[in-house]
Amino acid sequence: MQTLTYRRALLKLSGEALVGEQGYGIDANTLQYISAEIRDVHKLGVALAVVIGGGNIFRGTEAQAYGIERVTADYMGMLATVINGLSLQSGLEKIGVATRVQTAFEMQAIAEPYIRERALHHLGEGRVVVFAGGTGNPYFTTDTTAALRAAEIGAEIVLKATKVDGIYDADPVAHPEAVKLQQLTYMDVLQRGLKVMDATAITLCMDNRLPIAVFDLMQPGSIRSVLEGKRIGTFVGG
């Protein structure tokens, strides 16, 4: 534990993180990889909670394309996060990491409802807690959920795991000369419209002085490096 800068963290995984090379759903190897990365930091004694997205299955913003009402589509998106949450729980339990899933709305047969005190209890018992179902409200995102739950459980940092190794001043695929930004303030992100997390999530982090680390999940050991205080990726703070 001595080497760790952060001992209580909220990891945000997008649904996309589970897709792997395929275009949709959950890739077995990727699930295994992510579970192992989580186990490696969990072993260090970090109190770790996870908020998982659902974009690999369904996004409410795609409602129009399906001719589905937006609010209904958002609930479908929230349900997708539960599917992902259960798959992550399974991946973690399989390698010996005690994990509980809590959902923002009741799904009694398969998971606990979100109860802050119980989540804190699980973390205290050394269990990973996966928060699924987003905030439970339409028009929000799982990034906002991550900021919210992080504040609620007293996390010291939001670990925003992505497919790129940080935030760039332009799209690095379209603009090879794009420069990686190592340190940003919340206001930089909001004013420059940088695509880190949505504005609601950033504002919530800013109001609660929660730093955000943006880093490449597929770089082995990246979660651990961030928790050790290494400045990989981009760091957003006050």
Binding site, annotated residues for ATP: 12-15, 55, 59, 162, 168, 171
What is the binding site for ligand UDP (CB under 6 A)?
Answer: 14-16, 53-55, 59-61, 74, 77-78, 80-81, 134-135, 137-138, 140-143, 145
Q: How many Å separate Cα 145 from the centre of its chain?
A: 9
Q: How far is the CB of 190 from ligand UDP (least distance, A)?
A: 18
Give the residue at shortest CB distance from ligand UDP: 53
List the structure tokens of 142. 């799982």
Q: Write out the DSSP string of 169-226.
A: SS-TTT-TT--EE-EEEHHHHHHHT-SSS-HHHHHHHHHTT--EEEEETTSTTHHHHH
Q: Which lies closer to ligand UDP via its Cβ, residue 176 or residue 193? A: 193
Pair 233, 165: CB distance under 8 Å? yes
**Residue set of the binding site for UMP:** 54, 74, 135-142
**Residue set of the binding site:** 12-15, 54-55, 59, 74, 135-142, 162, 168, 171
Q: Which lies closer to ligand UDP via its Cβ, residue 137 or residue 225? A: 137
Q: How far is the CB of 84 from ligand UDP (least distance, A)?
A: 8
Backbone torsions φ then ψ of 27, nearest 5 degrees: -95, 125
Q: Which lies closer to ligand UDP via its Cβ, residue 74 or residue 165? A: 74
Euclidean distance between CA atoms 147 and 92, whole angstroms? 23
Q: Which lies closer to ligand UDP via its Cβ, residue 87 or residue 142? A: 142
Q: Among residues 16, 12, 9, 13, which one has the least CA distance to residue 41?
A: 9
